[in-house]
Chains A and B, each alone.
Chain A
Amino acid sequence: MDPMCISCRHCPVGNTDTEEEAMAIIQVGTRKGLFAYKKKGSGVWTMSNRQFVGDPVNLVMKDPRDGSLYAVLDLEHYGTKLRRSKDGGFTWEEIGVPEYPSELPLEKMPSPDPEDAGREYQPKLEKIWALAPGLVGQPGVLWCGTIPGGLFKSEDLGASWTLVHELWNKEERKVWMGGGQPYPAIHSICVDPKDGDDIVIGVSIGGAWRTRDGGKTWAPASMGMFAEYVGDPDLAKDPNVQDPHLIVQSPTNPSILWTQHHNGVYRSSDRGTSWSESEGLSPSSFGFVVCIHPYDANSVWLVPAEKDEMRVPVDGKVVVNRTVDGGDTWETITEGLPQDDAYDIVLRHAMNVDPTGQVLAFGSTTGSLWVSEDQGEEWSTLSHHLPPIYCVVLTQ
């Protein structure tokens, strides 16, 4: 199959129902449960599973090493929990969650809220905001990004977790801020598919950081981003004040990273050493999510919104922006998406593409779920009635 042939929905590539596609499943984590839609045929999807109904499911991750699904439950009364399923999401077991060591010194609260800012607090697990598996050659390794800004590693598939002290102890980490949350959040963990010790993380608000030795040393990886919201033009270039909303890495060309930043869309071709803004985005360069093709680093999808206090679709129209040439040009796709009075916002983990690169899905805070079977050319509605959608993961 020609991976570059994505521009025409009438060609055989875009409409071929391969055996893999026929088995595609969309896992949808929502404010009130985890729901799965299974593809039954071209354009035909049915809800095939309902789990944790009533409970917030913030995040879902599939581990390609063994097929396990992980779900993060953000139970308001009982804290954040982590569950694993080895049968595609039908039965679940509870595993461990990261715990901040009690001996850590008190921190000063980095909240943007003046009433909270500077107040001392004891770091503890507020939320799990990112999960990533290690490589095949690293059995048992999982990475977990949290609020209030700690990165954790497990070497036993989540039974136990260890704080990456080398990152936590960095002076720059101590001035990370909350963005939309009282505390900073590690929301992106990009593990180089060829070198499991080479990892880039994304932080709201703390920029991007890279380790090349499995977490022992860290260096800023957000040079070139620009934080308009800090006011001072020199400070705005500081890598540590950047707010990448999500960072993704090309699985087949890991030098290529993309981010949907608070102030625009940026691309790096050197694993975050430098970033350049991608211009020409319409109707907006603001948004939360960015989705990259599984084997074409030049193909990327975004869902723009009105920035930034508004955070609604521009003119009430839900659109997808797509590039197939590395950001030189962008097209705005509306086919199958609501174009009147739609107020759907798509959160950072709520869009995903399947391993074939053909099927995409995204969900909104107003419970709408859309799917495309032709690389985003045309969309169909699966539901307008789900709870607010936090994350979307395509599995097979």
Chain B
Amino acid sequence: MELGAKLVQVHFTGNLRRHVDCPSMKVGGGTLIEVLNGVFDALPQARGYVVDEHGALRRHMNIFINSERVADRASLTDTVPDGSDVYIMQALSGG
């Protein structure tokens, strides 16, 4: 990461914190997969909760980049501008 580059703030749903200790954190920007890899490097135990074994976003998870919902759920190639907020959320499902 370039010195002085603006970071991306990543926020996790509180529900996920029942299982994994994942406080909000700042990582480098780029594509969403690059952002998430930055997160998973710091929090490896979070990876399997957010994406499946092929790297696709889990069916009942959502990610918002600022106010936009992620478009590419399979390969996570959406662009994440510097300074963005990324929200890793659970979809409203289950019972």
Residues of A at under 8 Å CB distance from B? Answer: 75-79, 81, 94, 97, 99-100, 102, 122, 124-125
Q: Quick one: which of B19, B50, B53, B91 contacts A100, CB cutoff 8 A?
A: B53
Contact B52 A77 (CB under 8 A): no
Say yes or no for B48: interface residue by CB 8 A criterion. yes
B34-69: CB near A (< 8 Å → 1, else 0) gives 000000000001001110111100101100000000
Q: Quick one: which of A75, A77, A94, A122 contacts B54, CB cutoff 8 A?
A: A122
Closest 6 CB pairs of A and B: A99-B53, A78-B49, A76-B94, A77-B90, A77-B60, A102-B54
Contact B48 A77 (CB under 8 A): no
Contact B19 A79 (CB under 8 A): no
Q: Which residues of chain B come closer than 8 Å to A94, judged between CB atoms?
A: 45
Determine the distance from Cα of A271 to Cα of B15 in the docked complex, in whole angstroms.
46
Q: Quick one: which of B45, B53, B55, B91 contacts A77, CB cutoff 8 A?
A: B91
Q: Quick one: which of A76, A97, A100, A122 contacts B48, CB cutoff 8 A?
A: A97
Which B residue sits closest to A124, measured CB to CB?
B52
Tell me the minimal C-beta distance from B61 to chain A in angstroms: 6
Tell me the minimal C-beta distance from B22 to chain A in angstroms: 11
Contact A81 B19 (CB under 8 A): yes
Which A residue sits closest to B92, measured CB to CB?
A77
Contact B52 A79 (CB under 8 A): yes
Other than the known A75-B49, A102-B53, A102-B54, what 15 A-B pairs have Cβ atoms closer than 8 Å?
A76-B60, A77-B15, A77-B16, A77-B60, A77-B90, A77-B91, A78-B16, A78-B61, A99-B53, A100-B53, A100-B54, A122-B54, A124-B53, A124-B54, A125-B52
Determine the distance from Cα of A259 to Cα of B93 in the docked complex, in whole angstroms.
35
Determine the distance from Cα of A100 to Cα of B56 in the docked complex, in whole angstroms.
13
Q: Which residues of chain B come closer than 8 Å to A79, judged between CB atoms?
A: 48-49, 52, 58
Tell me the minimal C-beta distance from A158 to chain B in angstroms: 13
Determine the distance from Cα of A77 to Cα of B93 in the docked complex, in whole angstroms.
8
Q: Which residues of chain B come closer than 8 Å to A102, judged between CB atoms?
A: 53-55
Which A residue sits closest to B60, measured CB to CB?
A77
B17-29: CB near A (< 8 Å → 1, else 0) gives 0010000000000
Which A residue sits closest to B48, measured CB to CB?
A79
Q: Which residues of chain B come closer than 8 Å to A97, judged between CB atoms?
A: 48
